[in-house]
A and B are shown apart, each in its own frame.
Chain A
Amino acid sequence: MQAPNTYRRMVWHHFRKRHLALLGLWVALMFFFLALFAPLLANNRALVLRFHGKWTWPVWSHEEGIGYQTWKELREQMGPGDFAWWPPIPYSPTEINLLENLEPPSRRHWLGTDDNGRDVLARMIYGARISLSVGFVAVGIALIIGIVVGALAGYFGGWIDHLISRLIEIFLTIPTFFLIITIVAFLPPSIYNIMVVIGLTGWTGAARFVRAEFLKLKELDFILASRALGASHGRIIFLQMLPNAMAPVLVSAVFGIAGAILTESSLSFLGFGVPPPTPSWGDILSQSRDYIEFAWWLTTFPGLAIFLSITSYNLVGEGLRDAMDPKLFH
């Protein structure tokens, strides 16, 4: 086998040798596709419908049905010659059916129903959207702040570094989860608030790594050469130093996604998550507490989803860390 010739290939070469890390990557990708294609996987609208000789695409339409009949009514009135291709889970996450509430897993509802008769699997598939978007956006916000702050401290040094280091120390010492609850508890419930709050409190890791890398990098000759050629500060920071400082930041970002997913589900569990009826894993788990004596399916499955997604990102993070450089973090 040909030796890997670029850094990226080398990392991938080492990464793919770790079975658990690869498994984590597959699970993470699976959740990603579940979230991406949620409307095609779980919906009470058919993907393709032929009704009285007319073809429609209910999934893509904004209408509630044809004429006076809703999609659900059409479903019951299908005659010979009509055809419908339903998603694998023919329920929408917010579709209430009080006749079928709190049903254990069955062939109709693979993972059972909740107290409003909503299909748990459908809600969990849409819940993946909340978890993943909070994870990625919150970490994105944290990365942007952390990179800028860390780069300023490491590059300019002096009093700027001193000030920023103090600020980092302060943020490291603040009881973060307590602070997040304090803020989120009284903001109007919204997924965006949660993203921003997690992002604003989680930037210290990235800042510390970038700062440490920049302190090392700025002594190197190629930076001196750029400066001698008249490159601006911005150019040196973002085009020359940053690409060389990204490795540890990326690893901490992957762990950060796992952390953000955990924080979001904890907040939803405490009742500060996305507003109802939007489904989220922590929220389903929180509702399960009212029926904890018997509704094992409400307790087990959403928790399993949280656990699997956190584990997958942790596995990817560990694999990436070891693959990038075994000595990087020790």
Chain B
Amino acid sequence: MKAYLIKRLLQIIPTLLGITSITFLIIQLAPGNPAMLKLQMATQGQVTDTGLSQQIIEQTKKLYGLDKPLPVQYLLWVKRVLTFDFGTSYKDHRKVWDKIAERLPVTLQLNVIALFLIYLISIPCGIYSATHSNTVTDRLLTLFFFVLYSLPSFWIAVLLIMLLGGGDFWDVFPVYGISSIGAENWCFLPWLTDRVWHLILPVICLTYGGLAYLSRLARAEMLEVIREDYIRTARAKGLKERVVIFKHAFRNALLPIVTLLAFLLPALFGGSVIIESIFSIPGMGQLSFEAVLSRDYPVIMAIATISALLTLVGLLLSDILYAALDPRIKLE
């Protein structure tokens, strides 16, 4: 076990180097460079003296170290990242870590609630469907979750805003940001109500897709387990149906569902670009979007690296969880 862990942890290093070097290469080779963009933004495209603007671009490039050859730039970046320093943003010269620290709580708030709801609703639905398989309710639930699974989240988001966001239909929910202006000065209870009120629509959009996926998975896993011989044995022993389902079947069906949790780590961190931009939520998704639009290399690299690392850790975690929960699996 220990040897396996060490081997897996060591394997993360070359994979991570591969990921970061590919990402580095792609963002550097993609057209548009930060120096040029900065000049355009500063002058709003008013510069006519090409010699002067060329000079400014060269200076900016030098400032950011963009004048060095790519491999050198990459190695310098790796050297800095080894000390957990992702550098400063090109856009506002603030530390990348500070920017992330500012946005992460917002995204975590949204995603933790969404994740909690996903597991809370989908598992009972899945179990119900599986234990009542081929009844009308099961078929309706299955169809419902299938439809839910294919609904594009940005469509649902704009539909919800249209219907409930104060247009021609109903004015129930706010559709901008995560709290009202000045809410930070309110007492706790009104502040909380206001926050919850703001979070409802984005949380719905972030929840239903995963909910549909997990319900379908839970149903399939339960159905498979229920057909096993040991379930028949449990029933033959005269155990109550409730005990058979929850103690014997459910625990075994839970395995893949629990390990799935590990894959959700990077999503928890990264947030949703689309949902956050639709609801103007200042989270990680919006940060990545802004970074992409302004070619903010340090921020882009930091986000890509951290989410890749979280994915790798998640994969390892799910393997370990699997082995811990299922004694038949031995990690070699």
Q: Do A and B bind each other?
A: yes
Binding site for B on A (CB under 8 A): 166-167, 169-170, 172-175, 177-179, 181-183, 185-188, 258, 262, 265-266, 269-270, 282, 285, 288-289, 292-294, 296, 299-300, 303, 306-307, 310-311, 314, 330
Interface pair A306/B155, CB less than 8 Å apart: yes
Interface pair A307/B150, CB less than 8 Å apart: yes
Interface pair B312/A173, CB less than 8 Å apart: yes
CB neighbours of B155 from chain A (8 A): 285, 299, 303, 306-307
Q: Which of B149-168 contact A (CB under 8 A)?
A: 149-152, 154-155, 158-159, 161-162, 165-168
What are 20 A-B interface contacts by the 8 Å CB criterion?
A166-B15, A170-B22, A172-B311, A173-B308, A174-B304, A175-B308, A177-B273, A178-B270, A179-B23, A179-B304, A186-B32, A186-B295, A187-B31, A265-B152, A265-B154, A285-B158, A288-B158, A292-B165, A293-B167, A310-B150
Q: Would you call B27 an interface residue if the criterion is a C-beta within 8 Å of the partner chain's C-beta atoms? A: yes
CB neighbours of A182 from chain B (8 A): 26-27, 30, 292, 300
Contact with A along B281-304 (1 / 0, CB 8 A): 000000011001101000010011
Interface pair B162/A299, CB less than 8 Å apart: yes
Closest to A307 in B: B151
Closest to A310 in B: B150
If A181-B289, A314-B150 are given as contacts, then 17 extra A-B residue pairs at C-beta distance below 8 Å, sorted by A number, are A173-B15, A173-B19, A175-B270, A178-B292, A179-B304, A182-B27, A266-B152, A266-B154, A266-B274, A289-B158, A294-B167, A296-B162, A303-B155, A306-B152, A311-B146, A314-B146, A330-B224
| Chain B interface SS verdict (over half) | helix
Interface pair B15/A178, CB less than 8 Å apart: no
Interface pair A186/B289, CB less than 8 Å apart: no
Interface pair B288/A174, CB less than 8 Å apart: no
Q: Would you call B45 an interface residue if the criterion is a C-beta within 8 Å of the partner chain's C-beta atoms? A: no
CB neighbours of B149 from chain A (8 A): 314
Q: Would you call B277 an interface residue if the criterion is a C-beta within 8 Å of the partner chain's C-beta atoms? A: yes
Contact with A along B1-39 (1 / 0, CB 8 A): 000000000000011001100110011001110000000
CB neighbours of B19 from chain A (8 A): 170, 173-174
Among A170, A181, A293, point to the contact of B273 (Cβ < 8 A).
Answer: A181
Interface pair A187/B30, CB less than 8 Å apart: yes
CB neighbours of A303 from chain B (8 A): 152, 155, 158-159
Interface pair B288/A178, CB less than 8 Å apart: yes
Among B168, B224, B311, point to the contact of A296 (Cβ < 8 A).
Answer: B168
Chain A nearest Cβ from B135, distance in angstroms: 18
Chain A nearest Cβ from B226, distance in angstroms: 15
Most buried by B among A175, A269, A294, A296: A175
Most buried by A among B15, B22, B32, B150: B150
Q: Would you call B307 an interface residue if the criterion is a C-beta within 8 Å of the partner chain's C-beta atoms? A: yes
Q: Would you call B70 an interface residue if the criterion is a C-beta within 8 Å of the partner chain's C-beta atoms? A: no
Closest to B147 in A: A311
CB neighbours of B315 from chain A (8 A): 173
Interface pair B308/A174, CB less than 8 Å apart: yes
CB neighbours of B312 from chain A (8 A): 173
Closest to A188 in B: B31
Q: Which of B216-233 contact A (CB under 8 A)?
A: 224
CB neighbours of A178 from chain B (8 A): 270, 273, 288, 292, 303-304, 307
Q: Measured between alpha carbons, how far is A182 from B151 in the docked complex, in Å?
A: 25
Interface pair A292/B289, CB less than 8 Å apart: no
Q: Measured between alpha carbons, how far is A170 from B18 in the docked complex, in Å?
A: 7
| Given the contacts A181-B289, A269-B274, A299-B159, A285 and B154 also touching, CB distance less than 8 Å | yes
